[in-house]
Structure formats: C-alpha cells, structure tokens
Amino acid sequence: MQQTPSPRRAPIVAPRQALAEDGPLVEGREFVWSDADFSRIKALIYKKAGISLHDGKHAMVYSRVSRRLRETGHASFKTYLDWLEQHDGAEWQEFINALTTNLTAFFREQHHFSILSELLAAKRTQSWRIWCSAASTGEEPYSIAITATEALGASGTFQIVNSDIDTKVLATAARGIYKSEGVKGLSQEQLQRHFMRGKGTNAGFMRVKPELQKHMEFLTVNLIQDLPFREPFDVVFCRNVMIYFDAATQRQVLERIHRVMKPGGMLFVGHAENFSDARNLFVLRGKTVYERV
C-alpha cells in the first residue's frame, strides 16, 4: 500500500530586518534607526541646546524624533537630518522641543519655597527681580509668584521673568490654564485666591487670575547663548537643568547666570546638582541654594 506523503512544511524563515547603514533595524520599528542616526542627533542637539545625550537614550530619541519625520513627511532619519541641516527655519525649534524633557509640579521641592519666602519677607520694601530659567509648563513660575505674593503682601513689588528653550511648554505656561487634577500641591486657600475655576465647557480646568499673571513675563531663552537681560536679578531658579549638560557646558551656563545676578543674589538648583567646584562664582548657603559671589 502506497503511503500518502505528508504535506511539505514551508521552511521557517526569520522575519526580514531592514538594514541601516551600520546596523539592523530593531524589529517592529517604523523607520530604520542606526547608531549613525543617533550620533548625528546627539551632535546636533548638543550644538543647538547644549543637551548631552548618553547612549541609554536611544529609545527616547527614536520615539521623539520619529514624530518629526511623520510631521515633515520624511521616510528616514537620514533624509530628515540632511534636510534639517540645509535649512535655517522653524523646524529647528520643533527639533529642540522634541528632545527637551519637561517634568514639573506646583511647589516641587517645597524647601526652596520656604527659603524663598523667608528671603523675600526679610526685605518687604525691596523691588524684587526673579528669573525662572526653566519655566516648562508654568507650575514652577506660578509657585514662585504665589510665594512672593504671600511673603511680600499686597503692597509688595516683584517681577518674574520666565524662560524656556521649548516654545510649546512656554506657551502653556503663559496661558496659565491647568486641569483641576494638575494643581496638586496647592491649598484650597491658594486655589481660591489665585485661580478661577472653569464653568460650562471649561469645567475641570483652573485658570491663574490676572492679579498673579501681571507679575509674569515669558520669553524663549537658550542658556548656552548670550542671555538677553540688561537688569540683574535678585533670585534665579535653575532647577534640574544642569543635569542635561556636560561639565564644560555647566560651567559656561553658570558663568552666564553669574553675570546677570546681583552680588549676594540667590541661586536655587535641583536636588541632584552640585556646583562646589565653582566657588569663585557661587557659595553654598543651604540645601541646593547658592549665593552669588
């Protein structure tokens, strides 16, 4: 009896991977991604914004910059980066916006605001100039403004200049509108005094009152370029910014900040930042608080 042959099975073939110029595409990615692409992006963002990316940021960079490929209609990182380097237009700002990290909250690192309050209250009659150099979406600037209002009283005089390199988050900060669940860290008294609760189609949102916003100015500033300020500041907040710079860039930025501060002015930095090697510029006066020499 002739035996019926078993059906032939197709050979198992591994999924084909698209190859980049110097390495394989990770399976499932939309665009070819290579070490060369990462190196080019790393060099460009360092040149434009001083941001130092380490090799562990491959996934983050791919995810964020691939959005720019979709928006601009490019089929590869190479063609996008070639085009970017040949043009001096608005896309450079979008490229920078894509690679900046914005993590913030109202009254984050509370001890800084207690120190600021004591500093301001000790000289209530002084006209204060404060610079928030990484305003992000505005939670930090408005926390500073609330602190200043409470410390100085109704007759207090202060101006807060708020800057960021990311134009999109800065626009959010200037609007001063937040979801109700996003105003954690504020007391009910602070909410009632400084915010308006949305109604109707705006239900679920809170808006900063004009009385607080009148003290605020918003502008785009790149910390690795010459700073645009003519009048010196009494207080500068530059928190959790320096961690994205290498040592040489940190020093350059500190020197720029030093030049736009009054002697004896106070610099507030992030909990992971230490500038003990810049004692000729700033002297430590408290937990992550430095005095301008």
Residue 276: predicted pLDDT: 87
At 27 the pLDDT is 53
Q: Active-site residue numbers? A: 64, 164
pLDDT digits (tens, 9 = 90+) for 148-200: 999 999 889 999 999 999 999 999 999 999 999 999 889 999 999 999 999 99
Report the distance separating Cα 163 and Cα 131, nearest Å. Answer: 8
Q: Which residue has the higher pLDDT, 106 or 2?
A: 106
Q: What tens digit of pLDDT does each residue of 244-289 get?
A: 999 999 999 999 999 999 999 999 999 999 998 999 999 999 999 9
pLDDT of residue 28 exceeding 80, the answer is no
Structure token digits, residue 6? 């078993």
Grouping H, G, I as helix, E, B as strand and the rest as coil, residue 217 is strand
pLDDT value for 154: 83
Instruction: Tell me the average pLDDT across 100-112.
Output: 93
pLDDT tens profile 206-224: 999 999 999 999 999 999 9
Residues 39-60 pLDDT 10s:
999 999 999 999 999 999 999 9
Share of the chain above pLDDT 70, in %: 91
* 178, 179, 182, 187 alpha-carbon torsion, rounded to 10°: 80
Distance from C-alpha of 122 to C-alpha of 9, rounded to nearest angstrom: 84
Q: What is the mean pLDDT of residues 225-236?
A: 97
pLDDT exceeds cutoff 90 at 25: no
Phi first, then psi, for residue 180 (nearest 5°) are -55, -40
Tokens standing for residue 58: 């491959």
CB-CB contact of 213 with 188 (8 Å): no
Q: Are 11 and 55 in contact, with CB atoms under 8 Å apart?
A: no
Q: How far apart are CA 110 and CA 95, in angstroms?
A: 33
